[in-house]
Amino acid sequence: MSIPTAPIFGFEKVAWADKALRVRSVFASVAGKYDVMNDLMSLGVHRLWKRFALSSPASNPANRPWTWQAAPGDCRWACCGQVGKTGRVVLSDINANMLQVGRDRLLDLGLTGNIECLVADAEKLPFHDHSFDCVTIAFGLRNVTDKDAALRSMYRVLKPGGQLLVLEFSTPVAPGLKPLYDAYSFNVLPWLGQVIANDAASYRYLAESIRMHPNQETLLGMLQAAGFAQVRYHNLSGGIVALHRGYKI
């Protein structure tokens, strides 16, 4: 699969300055229904994908800072006993609406003691070099304008020996799955978006953005180009989702 040389919003080529603005608009529109739509679209399986991703890092329960590209519902998974009482969690998202909804979820769960919420651009993470033991981004990388810059930024803020986890929609590899998945994505998802969130266009963008995201092997190469070592990936649900992992040596 070739990577577009110009920013792509869904299937549409856009100006570099416009991509982030249009992504912000999409997620500002769907923030309030994000949890509900995730459960409906995946029949709840998205929770298992996130649980698997967060069970992957090597154990360091007493002191592991995390940075997590936050979305409502994702926040609670990021905080489930991963860092211990002395660890630090930084939840970041470029969209203030999404971050606010996520923070509200944390308040409801009483999980704000060692958690910081910060509006931040993944391409220019506002942290010192060698700050984190683990960086995770879940279903966010495909929305980034310059994915290579974001991966380099994540590499920079990791401590030596730290790891990156990228959980993202990918390319189905199970026999016969792709046509079924395409039919579901381009017909059912926009319909659900219209019925539940009164926003078919944002969920049409979701389906298109998944198709334009690098496949498993391409993303693997991008992590390597950003400097990550011991890079590998694990397909979930027949390749509909993939978890990529790399280490800063």
pLDDT at 84: 63
Give 35-50 pLDDT, tens digit per residue: 788 889 999 999 899 8
Q: 241-247 and 229-236: which strand pairing? A: antiparallel
User: Distance (Å, rounded) from C-alpha 243 to C-alpha 249?
Assistant: 20
pLDDT at 67: 53
pLDDT at 96: 84
User: Distance (Å, rounded) from C-alpha 206 to C-alpha 230?
Assistant: 30
pLDDT at 5: 59
Taking only Cα atoms into account, the Rg of the chain, rounded to an integer number of angstroms, comes to: 17
Rounded to the nearest 10 degrees, the angle between the axes of helix 34-42 and helix 45-54 is: 100
Helix (H) or strand (E) holding 107: helix 96-109
pLDDT at 97: 82
User: Distance (Å, rounded) from C-alpha 211 to C-alpha 109?
Assistant: 35
pLDDT at 70: 44
- pLDDT by residue for the chain (249 residues), tens only, comes to 444 456 788 888 878 778 888 887 888 778 778 878 888 999 999 989 988 888 766 544 444 445 554 444 455 555 555 666 667 788 888 888 888 877 777 777 776 667 788 888 999 999 999 988 888 898 989 999 999 999 999 999 999 998 999 999 999 999 999 999 999 999 999 999 999 988 899 999 999 999 999 999 999 999 999 999 999 999 999 999 999 999 999
Domain ranges (residues) in the chain: 8-247
SS3 content of the chain, % helix, strand, coil (to 5): 50, 20, 30
pLDDT at 185: 95
Q: Contact 241/49 with Cβ under 8 angstroms? A: yes
Q: Contact 160/130 with Cβ under 8 angstroms? A: yes
Helix, strand, or coil (residue 51): helix
142 CB burial (10 A radius; 0-12, 13-18, 19+): buried
Task: Tell me the CATH class for 8-247.
Answer: alpha beta
Helix (H) or strand (E) holding 118: strand 115-119
